[in-house]
Structure 1
Amino acid sequence: MKKDIFHYALSAFVVGGMALSFASCSDNDLAANQGGSNDALVRFSVNDVQSEAIARGAAMTRGAITPGLGNNDLAGQKLAAHSNRNLNVCFIETAVEGVNPVKADAHTRAEIETTISGDFSSTGIRGVAATSILTTPEWFKAAKTKSNGELYTPIRWSIFQPWARFYAVYPSKDSYSKLTINDMTSADNAPSVDFTVEPNVRDQKDFMTACTGNVNYAKQFEQPTTSLDFRHALTAIRFAVGQNLSWSKVIDKVEIRNAIMKSKYKLSSEFSGTGAAWDNTGATRGTATLSGLSVSTSQNPNATIMGNTGDNFTFYMIPQELTGNGVVAYVHFTDNTEITATLKGEWKAGTTRTLKLSETNSNWSYVLTPTDPSRAAKYDETTSQPYGITSYRTAPDGTTQAVAWKVVGYDANGDGTFSMAEKPAWLTSLSKTEGDGGTAADQGTATLKKADLIDFFKQRNDGLKHATVLGSSSAPYDLSLHDHNGNTTLRNTANSYLISAPGHYRIPLVYGNAIENGVTNDKSYISHAPTGNSKVLYNFKDHAGHNIDNPWIEKTNGGANASVDGAEVVWADAANLVSSLSIAHDGGDTFLDFEVKESDIQSGNAVVAVKKGSTIVWSWHLWFAPKDALDKIPVTNHQGVVYNFTKETLGWKPTQWTGTTYTSARTVKVKVEQTVANNGTKAYTVINIIQNPGGVKKGATTLYQFGRKDAFPGVASSALATNSHFTENAGDNMSIMNGILNPGKFYTYGSNWSSNYSYYNLWSADNTTTGFNDNFVVKTVYDPCPAGFKMPASNAFTGFTTTGQDGGATNVDGTRDWQTYQSNFGHNFWTNSSKTAAINFPASGYLHYSNGSLNGVGDSGCYWSAVPKYSSDGCYLFFNLSYVKTLNENYRTYGFAARPVSE
């Protein structure tokens, strides 16, 4: 069955369409639902009871937000917990009125932002008198309504049926598929809603309802006052980390198990909201999960576990009786420690409960909870999203009292120490550095400096042009006698050479890495694998199919290739990168000489070949990039093995590149402390202010078919220099000889690959295995990497997910965000578990196995390893925005990128 990389790549980048549907209706239907053409339109005044109550300063008055709450409904408690590691732990549960309530500053109370920020569904019933409003047939049902109270499809009052009652449900049934608004019957006095809580907390929605009570269209053509006061119907549940934990672990998942997840809610028929209730008869139970976390118990005291930084997720749960029903809170840690606690009491609608992990002897009466900005600021934003601090203490009888708080320090370098002097220059100020506290959060924003954009593309090319000229026409600079930093070495040859300055250059006519440290490296072309294996190429071949028995092209096979007399540029992705190619003889050895002019040098790639007559006998890749492109970045894989990757992917050529001076999000931790001590210790917590990097990064890398040395362009054929010879679909003609003779031909999938190119050791001379391992790779003369580097082992990429497996949580520095992914042209993978450094892998796409077409540039990254998976497949790394496959395999015929590792 054909394998296609699009199976993995496209899912994350599908853009949704928009469809319109139409239904016909008769004039009688219209008459039943509409008034006269001049009658007033039905529209609503939309209010959020919670926001208005807090704005009036009523947040501390019980029942102002959620009517009918008693003292016991908000009483705190200590819940016994159990651990599979015998930890001394419990949950301290506290409750406040409101769903994640946020305090309004005095100067903003006239401009309260309602939580009804999207569409809702409204239903109307009507009648000729207040006592004869009929529930059936409904005037209109679940009509899509804008957040400002305006119906998408206009409906008019009728003076002949001037009494009405309206109901509203948020979110609209169109935006939340797990919500069903039921038909009303004559026995009903209000609609009911079948509501299901999403099991993945990241997908959950808040649920609010409202009723206008009876409304009278008393005077024709004049709109009556029609108010909808929305109230929360769910209970918000948050988990938090206590301050006094004596053990350090990392939370990666929290769950609420065996809770009611699907039930029926009966709306109130009163404006006050009284009478609304959940009917949990026949309800369905299940588990709500928030996974993919990384919350340290030692580094995040009092932190609310609401997702990773910037996510702010809350469990939105159906109110229910807990005692005796086996509802369990569950916390999982990365070391497989588990903590469970059976919940007691009752969840009430319109309240927020916080379950804080604590030592069993903890004083739990003081509560300090931070809320980070809902997202990181963009590089050019000067104001962050709001942050929040909730600070109060709870008496044994449930009475709450505000506790003042203030900012006491900053940590900008991530060392865990805080001081006021460490506030970074890019954080200009915080609008709120202290507050009175309370059960509703004090809110503030950070004022930030806009980061300047730098043109890295111009810097890179200017650096190449202005570098010191190397060599001369009479004394060319021998690339094989210098490392990438320009230091003199013994001769080291390769199939790829880095050029970082204008000049006159020379490379020896040597097969790949057949010379290392000045001596013959015959292990690069003679395998020492056990004999008798048909999948092992024991003697590597030249262009004529003869065994290579000498490093020098003209000296192998008794001089059969003597008299190499020509050279050419096979292809180049920029004009005039290489000029004046010639064959030179020096001391019995043969070289390819060429010039790189200051006026022409720029980031790019070229493939050059030497010929005997019209026959190409070998070719090399010339990569024009800064010296530091081959600097080493240590990366520790999931198995604990360190691989020293090159700083840049082989053949990286930026085409557009602007950015900030920082490439990863910059963070400052702000330490907040309560001003009142609890048993001699003041509670503290941390809020995180983050500013993302900015800019645009686009480019290409060279691409390779598995086992071939030949670099292929990662740009469209139309972007190649004039007189380039690249055939993207050369048919099913692959063989070792054809590959060497035709370095500009991309051979497509077919039987010739299986019969002529299915060896296991083309990039690792002694390899006899397939699949994923950390076995030592012996570089071969077909390896495409520069001197001192080789193709990586097949396990080299396993550290790029948390599990080391395909599809595990991605170990990336901020690039799960689409904008950041685009700005970095791929992923910034963490190099080790400490997450202090990252390595960029460009999403440079691939050449398709069946026709050589270029695909996925900017969307997906594909990187070969040195080891095959099967006779027909190679092992490789695949990634896109949301998915990483560290242990993937696909046809050898694909053109994928190469990321060398140090030998």
Structure 2
Amino acid sequence: MYDSFGVSAYSYTDSWSESKTPNYFYNATASKSGSGYKLSSTYYWPGASYKMKFFAYAPKDNRNYVLSASTQAGSPTISVTIPSNVDDQKDLLVAKTDELDGNTNTVVPLTFSHALTAIRFVCGDDMQGGTVKSVSLKNVYSKGTYNMETESWSSVNTPATFSQTLNKSTAGTANDPLVTENQIFMMVPQTLPDGAQLEVVFTDNANTDHTLSADIRGQAWPIGKTVTYKISNSSINWTYTFTVSQPTDFIYTGSTQQYNVTSYRQNTKGVKEAVRWTAQYSTDNGISWTDTRPDWLTAFTASGAGGETAQSYNATVGPQIGIDNSSHTTALQNTPAKGRVDAPYNLANQTDGGTEDQNTANCYVISAPGYYSFPLVYGNAIKNSTVNYSAYTSTASGVNILNPFINHTGTGITAPYISKNANCTPTKAELVWQDAPNLVTDIKYNGTGNGNVSFTVDSKTIRQGNAVIAIKDTSGTVLWSWHIWVTDEDISKTIEVINYYDKKYKLMPVNLGCCNGFVTTYAERSCKVKFTAGKQTQTITIRQASNSITTGANNPYYQWGRKDPFLPSNGLGNFNKTWYDKDGSSSTSNPATENFSNGTTRIKNCILNPNVMQNQKEINLYLNLWSANNNVYSGNDNPVIKTIYDPCPVGFQLPDSYAFTGFVPDGYLSNIQSEINGIWDNILKGWHFYANSTRNKTIFFPLLGYRKDSDGALDLVSIYGSCWSAIPYDRSCGRYLSYYSSNVYPLNYYDSTLGGGVRPSQEYRAY
């Protein structure tokens, strides 16, 4: 006990409350006198009408233990700051009385207790001989406030490190003290924070230094107790094993790879313990480090418990946004944006993008960045702002005539807006695929009115490309889907083509969904990742390698009678153009294939599965899927009535089967290159067909091959070309234009399941 202590007295006539102040005397010095302590001044008990409480503490007048002011109402407190030098760390003693009567008239008994936590060190059971050079308590709280009434601590904060040099020689006898009474740390009671560590530097008898850095976070240092840490040979002589595997370079399309972490320690007795590890990132080659990973590193595990067995973790890198050399990309980026996030541009309003639905289609063409929407309407079921019944009903008679046209349920459509049909409840919109990264983003279903889908085309990522968006119900069933074609091609500049029978057509200048060729370069991206386990570190580099990708001109493919496009080729051979799913994952795989049966079951399944090709030959093909009132198989130039299954954008439709007959002398077939009405282009791999008999204008048709129905694979790219017409050949086949470098067949036919091209014709022909 100290030779003196400070004491304060409270006098009051009512009950004790936190409004009282030390009004009788404040921080008076009580000095040792014989077997007790005596105040320097004489104070008398105030009398029976009063009550008294006393609070005392020691050491008094220590700048590290500061008593609250005399004006502070309520329980007195002591503000504590633990000094860095252990010699200055004094044992804080505190005492208080119960409430006493004001006429007690006797000596006040005070029982002092310890307010701090004492920290000492002893030898463990298997400590070897040597010298304990120093001990340190790192990142432990150094400040707090003690409440003398509640005997509790608050405002515990300010991590600090406390060290002392011991140079204590020991034989290693168990429980042999390593610190003297004067070397015991006196600490603020606390639950130790993150980063708290105990470090002991020990030199064995072979003069080898060992350092123990123990994680003590989360441990409790209780009030008035002594915490003893035992130091043993097994806790000092740890051998650390810490390895991290380096993943191989990531490709430009992004991917997921694994890395392995092994982190443990082993002592001389063979005991193994896992060592926890953490990771940080650097994008400036290790100059600075942060806990935040770069945006393009979309998934990475930055901490682990460790273990002697390698643990595998995933690192995921997103697709790189390339820079292409295409003037078309530049043109699209420089076009003024349309719509606003709160007022998207309505693609079904050709006047100004307003809220009125004027003309709808299964394909919408976008030529500028911006915010867009389209209504949930079956194909072209809205025309000139009114219901277009002819798009989903037929006036034709005969067999194999579909009437009315059906939706995903297999039942007849009763209204143009999807939500107005039975068992059709849209709840979410979702990307099916797109052939350029982040071409369309922020896809949302909006349930106001008759419902619409909104999405964004960002100026940073806009380029020529195609996307398919589906609307689904709560179970994930596809109700319908639409094709988004991003292009700077002015499709309104149609080319007038005269067929063999002198009929005129206004054809789109390119195939539906056409994208020009370009070269895309992808710059390298990398970041260093530093793993830390205790004092051990390992660094790896996550690298997404640079690349340069050449893509030729390309367009998507269509099965006869279906509205949805299938993935393009890369335009250079029988290889798929890279495409991206709803999660942004890239792929070059073929479309899936499946047997959808025949008849209306096939139509229903095609709607439900817009990205799956029918792989079995149709044996009961409807005649009017692409021309509502068609009831013949023969080639003809009868007017085509566009249907809700037509894949063409607003203002266009599939042409009749005679549309391409002017490309050969007899209107039927030519196997002699010199007789074909056009110019073969061996560089672009396609035909510049003459648009009329005067040969003063041409229209280009590329040889982009086709997709096989058996497995969805590409075939004959750069060797063969095809474009469907609206008219079937029989119950299994559709009519189409086929062409090689020395063969053009305008009235060819093949299984409707072939994936061919589409060259749209303007809806209104000039005869």
TM-score where L is the length of structure 2: 0.50
TM-score where L is the length of structure 1: 0.42
More helix by share: 1
